Amino acid sequence: MKRYWPLFRKTMDDGQREVDMDVIQPLNRTANGIIPRCADVSEPSTNIPQRNEQEDTSTNQNETNSERQQHSDEEGWQDVDIYEQSEVPLPYENINRDSQNDVTLSDLSVATTTERDMEFEADQIEFHEELGQGQFGKVHKAKAHFNHDHRGSMIVAVKTVKAHASPEVREDMLKELRMMMRLIHPNVVTLLGYCTRSDPVMLVVEYVPNGDLLSFLRKDRATRSVTYANLHAESRTLQNSDLISFAWQVSKGMSYLAKMQCIHRDLAARNILVGENKTCKVSDFGLAREGPEYKKVTDSPLPLRWMAPETLSRRRLYTTKSDVWSFGVLLYEIVTLGSLPYWTMSAQQAAEEVQRGLILEKPIHCTDDL
C-alpha cells in the first residue's frame, strides 16, 4: 500500500497544517464508464464454521510470503463470520438528503466538558425517526435537551443497544464510549454525551445531515448514469476536486486517530459521514481499539474486503498500517463512486488473493492527475 501512504503520512507529519482545497484545479476531463458493470453485486452472507485449533503463538515473525501462502487454508479469518457490503447497516441510511437541519457545535465546550457533564438522563432525549440499525443496535435522530447547563436543545444522533443484546455487546458500546471521549477533531464525529445509568445504553453524537459517504457517492452516480463530468459550480455533480477533498479530509481524521493511538479497524465509505459543505467525518468506532497494535482474539464479523494482509493472517494483528491499507480501499470506493471492492470475487476469494499479494488496481477511467 505504499502508493497510499504519502497522503496519510503527510497529515501525520504536518499536524495541524491545513490545505486550501480552492487551489485544487478542476480537471476538465470526463471519465467514461466510471462505474464498472455489476459493481454493486454482493454475495449472501457466509458463516464460516468455528474451528477449535489453538493459535500457534510460536509463529516465526520472519515467515516468508511463500510460507504464508502455504498456510492460506489455516488463516485466522476463516474462524469467524464475515459480512458483505449489502449486509452492513449504514449508520444514517434513511436520512432525508434535502434536510437543512445541521448540528451546531460552536456553543459546546467539548474539550473542557467533564464526564459528569456529559451524562444524560433518559428523559433528556426526545427520539425522532430511526436512521439505521444493525444486528445489535439502532441509530435515531433525536433532540437532546441540555437541562443541566442551560445550553438549550439541539438535534443529535443517538446510538442505542437493542434490548436482547448480550453483555458483551453492551461492553463493546462502553468501549466505544471511552474511545470517543478522547477524540476531538473536525474530521471525526463528536461525542456530545451518553446515558449509562439506565437501559438502553445510549451514545449521543453530533448529527451529520448528509448521511454516509457510500450512499452520498452512489446517489450522485445514479443521477448521471455511468459517467461524471466537472460542470459549473451550481451543478450537483461531484467534481474531481470533491473526490480529492473527501480523501484528504478522511486522511486528516485518520492521522489524528493514529496520533491518539486509536486503531479504527473498520475504515470504509459506509463509516464516513458527510456534513454541510461536504465535510467528511470518520465515524463508527464499534471495532476501534486503543494502543499501537491490537491482536484480535474474539470471533466477530469481519469486513474482509477492507482488511490488510496481516489482519487476515492467523496472528490477526492490527496496527495503524492496517488502517492505511483500508484507506487505500476507501480511495477505490471514492473514485468509483461507491463500487464494491474486488466485485468480481466473493469476500473469501478476495481475502485469499490479498494474502497472495493482490492489490486493487487503479480503475481504468481514473486519470493519472486524479
Q: In the chain, where are the structural domains located?
A: 114-206, 210-225+237-356
Residue 201, classed as helix, strand or coil, is coil
Kindly report the CATH number that applies to the domain delimited by 114-206.
3.30.200.20
Beta strands in 162-215, from DSSP E residues, in sequence order: 191-195, 202-206
Element (H, E) at 158: strand 152-161
Residues catalogued as catalytic: 266
d(Cα 319, Cα 335) in Å, to the nearest integer? 25
Question: Which residues of the chain are under the pLDDT cut of 70?
Answer: 1-117, 134-135, 147-151, 222-236, 286-301
* Fold of domain 210-225+237-356: Transferase(Phosphotransferase); domain 1 (1.10.510)
Residue 249 DSSP code: H
Quick check: 271 and 211 in contact, CB under 8 A? no
pLDDT of residue 40: 40
CATH topology identical between 114-206 and 210-225+237-356: no
Which tens digits make up the pLDDT trace of 167-193?
888 888 888 888 899 899 999 999 999
d(Cα 91, Cα 134) in Å, to the nearest integer? 8
Element (H, E) at 66: helix 65-70
Residue 346, classed as helix, strand or coil, is coil
Element (H, E) at 10: helix 5-14
Separation in Å, CA 102 to CA 48, 76, 335: 42, 43, 27
pLDDT of residue 14: 44
Which tens digits make up the pLDDT trace of 78-101?
544 444 443 333 343 333 333 333
d(Cα 185, Cα 252) in Å, to the nearest integer? 9
Q: State the Cα torsion 58-78-323-134 to the nearest 10°.
A: -140
Angle (deg, nearest 10), helices 5-14 and 240-259 = 60
Separation in Å, CA 85 to CA 14, 34, 304, 351, 361: 34, 19, 10, 15, 20
pLDDT of residue 238: 86
Query: Binding residue per annotation — 159?
Result: yes
Quick check: 286 and 263 in contact, CB under 8 A? no
Q: Please provide the DSSP assignment of 31-51 as one string.
A: BTT-S-TTTT--PPP--PPP-
pLDDT of residue 368: 79
Other Cβ atoms within 10 Å of 33 Cβ, number = 11
